[in-house]
Amino acid sequence: MLALIVVITCFVAVAALVAAVGTLMRPDNDAHIEDRLDLLTGAAQPVEASETSIIAGSLEEGVTFAEQLFSRIGNINRFLEQAGVNVSPTKFLLMTLGAAAGAAVVAFLFGAHVAILPVAALIGGGLPFFAIWFKRKQRMSRFAKQLPEALELVSRALRAGHSLAAGFSLVGEEMSDPVGREFTRCYEEQNLGIPLEEALEDMTERVPNLDLRFFATAVILQRQTGGDLAEILDKIGTLVRERFKIWGQIQALTGEGRLSGIVLLALPPVLFLTLFRLNPDYCMILFDDPMGQQMLAVAVVMQFLGAVVIKKIISIKV
């Protein structure tokens, strides 16, 4: 009972500490907003260029500690935006740390060995990342499926006499997320004065889709050299539909290989968990004995290599 109280107390203390650090590292934008409103209403006078102001200030002032940390790994803001989740990097970091601590506490409460606690924390900490990665993958797949219809809608709008920007607005009104949302954002950006070429380039960076880049390249070339953009969009839409048809045939032909890979990759961990449940002392030799630790490390490496090989065999790019 005492051990349970100690574990719960440590978990609450660590969670409170992480929340406090995240709050302290969060940029204070309220003062900036008040200063900007005072400037617009005339309640305050603009400061000289030599003084510190919200206009002359550095753009890095709004960067949080979590964003600086994740910037060394990758563009976490872009990753979260592509997944379509309204989560800041700071909240994502707190979710990761909380999931890791929670998984370790749950493993300890179920009587797991001390050597398993770091593994449980690693698995728990990776759950938020894999959840957002899965959501991002689903969103990108949905965008790829909606893109041919969006291109044909823009093509019909051009044939009806509308402008390209009006075609983008029509796609945003008639189609759902994510295609409608991305085309609406592109339309609003060019309405606010951003060149259409730059708005299209930003959209291709937000959505890493090869067909979308073909579309952006075709639009930019057509605006520079001329040509029938409606016909080009029809051909791109037809090409994308044919590619999806071939991809579906490949998925049907490689279904057996994918199922065999799932069974082969899931068999060792499931068998280990079953043996650990039936006879924990028999399995703990892998953690206590040096030879067992080496065998376990080799097994993990071989499992990873097997997953890579199976992935290479069943993955056929179209």
pLDDT of res. 138: 92
pLDDT of res. 24: 39
Of 7-11, 15-19, 255-259, the range with the highest mean pLDDT is 255-259
| Helical H segments across the chain, by residue range | 2-25, 30-41, 65-71, 76-83, 89-109, 117-159, 164-174, 179-191, 196-206, 210-225, 229-253, 255-278, 280-283, 285-288, 290-314
pLDDT of res. 134: 92
Terminal C-alpha separation, the chain? 59
Domain extents in the chain: 2-51+62-115, 139-247, 254-314
Dihedral pair phi/psi, residue 42, rounded to 5°: 85, 5
CATH architecture of 139-247: Up-down Bundle (1.20)
Helices 196-206 and 76-83 pack at an angle, to 10 degrees, of 90
Tell me the pLDDT tens digit for each residue of 123-163.
Answer: 888 899 899 999 999 999 999 889 999 998 999 999 988 88
What single letter denotes the amino acid at residue 225? T
Which range, of 60-64, 96-100, 278-282, averages the lowest pLDDT? 60-64
Tell me the pLDDT tens digit for each residue of 192-240.
Answer: 888 888 999 889 888 888 888 988 888 888 888 877 888 888 888 888 8
